[in-house]
Structure 1
Amino acid sequence: MLRIPRLQIVGTHSGCGKTTVVCGILSALHNRNLKLSSLKCGPDYIDPMFHEKMIGTHSGNLDVFMNGEENILSLLERQAAGSDFTVIEGVMGMYDGIAFGSSRGSSNHISLLTKTPQILVVNVRGMSTSAEALVKGYLSYEDNHIRGVILNNCTKASYFKYKEMLEETLPINVFGFFPPDNRISLESRHLGLITAAETANAEEKIRLMGRIAEECLDIDGLLELGKDAEDLEPVKTRKPECKYEVKIAVARDRAFCFIYNENIDILKRYGAKILYFSPTSDKNVPEEADALMLFGGYPEEYAKELAENKAMKRSVRSFVKTGKPVYAECGGFMYLTERLKDRMGKEFEMCGAISGDSYMTSGLKRFGYLSLTAQKDNLLCKKGETLNAHEFHYSDSTNNGNGFIAEKQGKRWACILCEGNLFAGYPHLHFGAHPEYLENLIKQAMETKQNGIE
């Protein structure tokens, strides 16, 4: 049996304080010199960046829609390997699932799949006795592993009143509180929280979160609860049959930071060496690269810097023309277009590696999970093969491509440019359920390398 000391921190709703509590717990545990791992339920990129900032290691994602129930345990097992303790952050409210009115794919669903004890974060601002009714409802709504509560926006003076009320009337332990404190507030923008790299005084906030958690939470009690988590059956996962000697250039900076770490891990398991570079500040794609990957992020926030880096744009255009594999999603796709128009209507010249423009819109253009079916053979898969994906963007393009048909709740539309060595479009992909699709990209990189393409 596999022993993984672990907890899942869930909330009553988005904005109740899950991320602040998780960051505080991770910081406090890090200060105790524990080797930590963390995961985020759902497709979110930004919260794992905060986890990484806390513990200095990669965080991961557990997403039922994109990875399937059967792969959740293997993802947890790989992420937790070698760790003393694992913290899983929930998404939205703990019962909010893939579809409205369903808890499938919710934080609670993932807790049940992984047999992970849950701590419910409750924002008690403006409540007294209603906090009891709220917690009682969450405890009884569906089967769950709720073992404790943490109160957010709770003063020290009122904490003991809440604790006494909840523990006397409900089968639950209260593990502490987080007080109102503007010094640890996390700012937001149109795609969610401001990323950890952009947060002002991030290191100071992290240290303060850890001090508050140590002072106001029962960290020892949380550790004991996590250590008592049920042992799991080890998962037999398919190991790569081949290792490929290829080098893959991956854009990674403030403009391109939405990267599922599991995707990078899959590339490495197939033998690929990752060459990180910055399209905003470097002058060229790494010369020795056999493939190029441009993931999502905030190109619209750094459009001026990207436009002014003409040397990098020339390098990217030249790379696309070599015939070496090029994969781009969302922000990376926008960067490859001819122009990007920001929210103020100002246009910036992008790489021009593909025809068409991208432009910011006044609201969410496409949001949520979708299923993709290939309309032609492409860099990743064969015609007719399928992928599950996620979109979340306040922009659109004049050339979205037609390599795949996307489907969501009965609606269908064409998307993704799939021409030769190019795979570029808005959908975000997590390859935990289909590592072979990334292997296909690597194989093509190996073939072009062996054919002497420079």
Structure 2
Amino acid sequence: MEYIIPRVVLAGTNSGCGKTTVTCAILQALVNRKLKVGAFKCGPDYIDPMFHSRVIGVKSSNLDLFFFQENTLKYLLAKNGSGRDISVIEGVMGFYDGMSLTTTTASTYEISQVTQSPVVLVVAAKGASLSILATIQGFLNFCPDHQICGVILNQCTATTYSVLEKEIQTRFTGKVQPLGFLPVMPECSLESRHPGLITAAEVQVLREKLQNLSVQAEETINLDGLLALATTSSSISCEAIKLPRQQEPVRIAVARDNAFCFYYEDSLDALREMGAELVPFSPLSDQELPPDIQGLYLGGGYPELHAERLSENNAMRTSVKTALEQGIPCIAECGGFMYLTESISEFPMVGFLPGKSFDAGKLIRFGYVHLKANHDNMLCKSGEEISGHEFHYWDSENHGSSFTSSKASGKSWKCVHATQQLYAGYPCFHFYSNPGFAVNFYNACLKERYRHD
């Protein structure tokens, strides 16, 4: 099928150049114009999409060529961009940066190539002048088939931009449009913390910051030029990914609060499309699991920052442990896995799984992994695989051994506690990487429903 999706990629020269700030400023400004705006994030990141969602009021989706085959990626872009006046795709790291130091694999560049999307390069301009043009020239020359059509200068003065705008037009003979700038705005800083920016719910006066950024964007970024550039996008050609619509619905409790907030919205939508009702609850503040549920999903987040409150909520810990002991199907990723262990630091947790979770004082695992099942389990048969990723500074005494996790470098290790009712471990995954995992989880929840009917 062919889909018309007006879109633009906002790519950075490097991490820290300000592409998230520029993206949020543009998204808020477009929303203030009463436009229907879609948002996407390249790569596996959870946090930038949370910012996007807080800005535009709808979900932001991930586009990732390690997780997805090309058709799947294009389908998710078409599905979530349908009916939007413009979709803004925020890049990851630097434009050409891929899975290793020497490849563009899974980079923003590769995603722009697969989707044939026009690219606007965000360049950090503070403390530079003519060197900015050298940077732009280098990006244009590095891969001649790039889709770079425009440039936005971040942390640039009006005086500098007025000169460089003309120079960009002259030197690049109209091949790259100067589309404006943002000045230094320390009052609108989006503070950083691993594994990226802090969560949207924690940013002080986020709304005020975003409105201030949008006012500035309306003044100094050529939003009409961006909108016009988005309309030059070629159509998206892809086959729809069809998930089975189950005859019976199930209710799945999903932990959603400041401690557990890392989810891929397309993964949750996959469960909904099959017929699931997702019931949010808070391990921090609720006293027990929602009633009449047949499944449990504990995502990642920052349980270590809320360990004392989680531990003090003994009623919820007991409710979760009882449900697990009774066989409720459960997915617990990263922080969700830590919650099921005996303790996080000195604070007692659910205690369903053996071992304690502790601060390792350094980054333990980072990056993409392939997960291969070592035995049959709730999500798959022995030998089946799914792509995943890890990013955590905390570790646990017992990682499990139900899956083998391997990196492109060849390094591998055992991980994950998995049974016919459980997946619990540090690796996180996206259901659209292997939709069979979603189907199998749903079927496990159906069995739980039938068991109690």
Question: Which of 257, 261, 279 is equivalent to 2:261?
Answer: 257
Secondary structure of the structure 2 residue equivalent to 1:90: strand
- Contact 1:244/1:270, CA 8 A, preserved across alignment: no
Aligned equivalent of 1:217: 221
Question: Which of 285, 305, 308 is equivalent to 1:301?
Answer: 305
Secondary structure of the structure 2 residue equivalent to 1:66: coil
- Contact 1:67/1:431, CA 8 A, preserved across alignment: no
Runs of 4+ aligned structure 1 residues displaced above 4 Å come to: none
Question: Which of 276, 279, 284 is equivalent to 1:272?
Answer: 276
| 1:193 equivalenced with 2:197 (yes/no) | yes
Question: Whole-Å Cα distance in 1 between the matches of residues 309 and 84 of structure 2?
Answer: 39
Shift of 1:334: 0.3
CA deviations on 1:371-429 (whole Å, 9 max, x unpaired) are: 11100111100000011110000011101000001111111110000123111000010
- Contact 1:244/1:443, CA 8 A, preserved across alignment: no
- Contact 1:91/1:107, CA 8 A, preserved across alignment: yes
Give the letter aligned to residue 123 of structure 1: A
Taking only the aligned residue pairs, the percentage that are identical comes to 45
TM-score (norm 1): 0.97
CA deviations on 1:22-67 (whole Å, 9 max, x unpaired) are: 1011001101111111110000000000000110001010011111
Aligned CA distance change for structure 1 residues 153 and 93 (closer, same or farther; 3 Å):
same
Give the letter aligned to residue 425 of structure 1: G
Question: Which of 333, 336, 343 is equivalent to 2:337?
Answer: 333
- Contact 2:369/2:388, CA 8 A, preserved across alignment: yes
CA deviations on 1:66-116 (whole Å, 9 max, x unpaired) are: 112231101101111222210000000000011220001100100011111
- Contact 2:129/2:160, CA 8 A, preserved across alignment: no
- Contact 2:10/2:89, CA 8 A, preserved across alignment: yes
- Contact 2:6/2:86, CA 8 A, preserved across alignment: yes
| 1:423 equivalenced with 2:427 (yes/no) | no
Shift of 1:322: 1.4
| 1:155 equivalenced with 2:175 (yes/no) | no
Aligned equivalent of 2:353: 354
Shift of 1:315: 0.6
Give the letter aligned to residue 433 of structure 2: A
Question: Whole-Å Cα distance in 2 between the matches of residues 208 and 348 of structure 1?
Answer: 41
Aligned equivalent of 2:171: 169
The 5 Å alignment of 1:372-383 reads 372-383=371-382
Aligned equivalent of 2:8: 7
Secondary structure of the structure 2 residue equivalent to 1:376: coil
Aligned equivalent of 1:119: 120
Shift of 1:190: 2.5
- Contact 1:38/1:88, CA 8 A, preserved across alignment: yes
CA deviations on 1:294-327 (whole Å, 9 max, x unpaired) are: 0000001111111111111001101101111011
Question: Which of 203, 208, 211 is equivalent to 2:207?
Answer: 203
Unaligned runs of 5+ in 2: none
Aligned equivalent of 1:181: 185
- Contact 2:78/2:236, CA 8 A, preserved across alignment: no
Give the letter aligned to residue 264 of structure 1: L
Question: Whole-Å Cα distance in 1 between the matches of residues 31 and 192 of structure 2?
Answer: 25
Question: Which of 248, 258, 265 is equivalent to 1:244?
Answer: 248
Give the letter aligned to residue 261 of structure 2: C
| 1:102 equivalenced with 2:106 (yes/no) | no
Over the aligned positions, Cα root-mean-square deviation in angstroms equals 1.1
Question: Whole-Å Cα distance in 1 between the matches of residues 328 and 309 of structure 2?
Answer: 26
Question: Whole-Å Cα distance in 2 between the matches of residues 210 and 331 of structure 1?
Answer: 34
Shift of 1:230: 1.1
Deviates more, 1:391-400 or 1:352-361: 352-361
Question: Whole-Å Cα distance in 2 between the matches of residues 58 and 362 of structure 1?
Answer: 33
The 5 Å alignment of 1:37-76 reads 37-76=38-77
Give the letter aligned to residue 150 of structure 2: G
| 1:282 equivalenced with 2:283 (yes/no) | no
Question: Whole-Å Cα distance in 1 between the matches of residues 374 and 241 of structure 2?
Answer: 29
Give the letter aligned to residue 215 of structure 1: E
Give the letter aligned to residue 420 of structure 2: G
- Contact 2:332/2:423, CA 8 A, preserved across alignment: yes
Question: Whole-Å Cα distance in 1 between the matches of residues 181 and 283 of structure 2?
Answer: 42
Secondary structure of the structure 2 residue equivalent to 1:287: coil
Secondary structure of the structure 2 residue equivalent to 1:67: coil
The 5 Å alignment of 1:310-325 reads 310-325=314-329
Shift of 1:243: 4.1
CA deviations on 1:142-180 (whole Å, 9 max, x unpaired) are: 121100000001011211111112111013110000000
Question: Whole-Å Cα distance in 1 between the matches of residues 209 and 240 of structure 2?
Answer: 40
Give the letter aligned to residue 364 of structure 2: K
Shift of 1:234: 4.3
